[in-house]
A and B are shown apart, each in its own frame.
Chain A
Amino acid sequence: MIRRKSVAQFLGFWALRLSVWLVLGVLALLLYDIIRRGAGVINWEFLTKPPRRGMTEGGIFPAIFGTLLVTMVTAVLAIPVGMFAAIYLNEYARQNRFTRLIRLSIRNLSGVPSIVYGLFGVILFVNLLKFGTSILSAGLTLGLMTLPWTVTASEESLKTIPAAYREGALALGATKWQAIRTNVLPYALPGMLTGTILGLARAAGETAPIMFTGAAFSLPFLPKSLSDQFMALPYHLYIMATQHHDIAKVRPLAYGTALVLVGMIFGLNLTAVVLRYRLRRRRR
């Protein structure tokens, strides 16, 4: 009896351990491959100059710039709207079948393939609202795609705040909004921001939603306004990896681009972690 229990424990433990190794192994392999092949091309010129000679030489600055810009537009839509929607859903909306349906829909939206968002963006922003293929259209499309993640993460964060904080404030004569603003939001904010930034990081790496809404194959100039087209790292990478006629020549540059993109997303995620740590510490 005892032996059988310890065998089960042994097997279970190793199944868990192997799963972790598998996950970390794939990640390590991926990073190793990108760094080994991409690190060589990264220098000052690569980061600050536009591509030359049909992308076979030069840098990727316009793509870096475009990705930063479009991510900012995404943030401007997704952060406030996502947080406010979460506050409304968790604090104000009645908890009934209708709100459960809304919540379920939001969860489902986060599973909709990104190409669907891309095509929806073409219809809504490019054609209907006449924003054209532009940074604005692409940023808003990415924003829509990020919203379900932002709302869900923010709501989960609000749920972790004990009801006693709200009741305690109300019992002292606080209005509902005062209770939320002074006794809920400050403590939920770190979690809300973390979830939001992770959503943004995911959006920054997307290709499908921006492909038809604003990302350009190649541009001689940097965009001057939100209504211009732009180059973006993931799209640039996609082109170099699959659409270029001289694969052998652009391959190293493609790896360099991949490394920069991964680096940027890692940077964003790191920001989320640092921000959460700081805000948490400040509250103690």
Chain B
Amino acid sequence: MTARSKIEARKLDFFYGSKHVLKGLDLACPEKSVTAIIGPSGCGKSTFIRTLNRMNDVVAGTRLAGRILLDGADIHDPEMDPVELRRRVGMVFQKPNPFPKSIFDNVAYGLRINGERRRGRLEEVVEKSLREAALWDEVKDRLRENAFALSGGQQQRLCIARALAVRPEVILFDEPCSAIDPIATARVEDLIQRLKTEYTVVIVTHNMQQAARVSDYTAFLMLGELVEFGDTKTIFTAPVRKMTEEYITGRFG
């Protein structure tokens, strides 16, 4: 692994109340590549990804120790504004969560809250983002329609377009395909593959085939600890740890 790390956790501990959810995690996600986080339910993979854009800040009763570095800078540094951090580190959630606004307004949302008012500029970015999310051809004639009119898979691609519109550097996917059908899943996976040319992607999934298909690197988490991290190919063909092998061959989980 020679790639530069874009975002990394160092000795990361995380607690919900008295529950120790992440235990001394060391994990570096290489730039412009896809890193998959796999592991059985409750292993802390969703919690981990939500620490990367400080989304857990808004959850009461949580505590974090250790460091998370974005381009080498600690994201918990007082200098680092969590609002600006979340613009740089975008997130796509498990369940598609379009806002009850038009398709256009959904994609333009992030730009508008950052002060962009120029109509031409908004239209340009909305089109570009929808094209990147492979949704443009399906919605270009109905941008004024409510986003709820789209199918589940389309809604998820809309949420991806919405995340892309603010030009993040990292995009976090929290089990993005668990609520959509297989055909829509294939399209989203395809999309994730193409995104890595410009963005650093981290994806949480409990679907091992998905991890094998889309990612360059895979981290296997178990009970809040990192069991193994490496090339996806290595992890899936010649894992070092026995536990990893047992998990990916489906002996538990």
Contacts and interface: CB of A to CB of B under 8 A. Distances in A.
Contacts of A176: 58
B93 A172 contact: no
B90 A164 contact: no
Contacts of B113: 169, 172-175, 178, 182
A280 to B, nearest CB: 11
A117 B133 CA distance: 59
A251 to B, nearest CB: 53
B97 A170 contact: no
B100 interface: yes
Interface string A98-140: 0000000000000000000000000000000000000000000
Contact of B93 (A95, A167, A178): A167
Contact of A171 (B53, B60, B95, B112): B53
Interface string B7-30: 000000000000000000000000
**A171, A183, A284 — which one has the most chain B CB atoms within 10 A of its CB?**
A171
Interface string A199-241: 0000000000000000000000000000000000000000000
A168 interface: yes
A218 B58 CA distance: 57
B247 interface: no
B97 A165 contact: yes
Given A173-B84, A173-B113, A174-B113, A168 B99 contact: yes
A94 interface: yes
Contacts of B193: none
B1 interface: no
Contacts of B55: 167, 170-171
Given A94-B60, A284-B146, A169 B109 contact: yes
A5 interface: no
B86 A171 contact: yes
B183 interface: no
B86 A173 contact: yes
Contacts of A46: none
A4 interface: no
B100 A187 contact: yes
Given A94-B60, A95-B60, A167-B97, A172 B146 contact: no
A171 B171 CA distance: 10
A172 B58 contact: no
Interface in B90-130: 90-91, 93, 95, 97, 99-100, 109-110, 112-114
Interface string A261-274: 00000000000000
B110 A172 contact: yes
Q: Give the 8 A-B residue pairs with the shortest CB-CB distance, closest first.
A: A173-B87, A164-B97, A172-B110, A171-B91, A168-B97, A174-B113, A173-B86, A178-B113
24 contacts: A94-B60, A162-B97, A165-B97, A167-B97, A168-B99, A169-B99, A169-B109, A170-B58, A171-B55, A171-B91, A171-B93, A172-B86, A172-B113, A173-B84, A173-B86, A173-B87, A173-B110, A173-B113, A175-B83, A176-B58, A182-B109, A187-B100, A283-B100, A284-B146
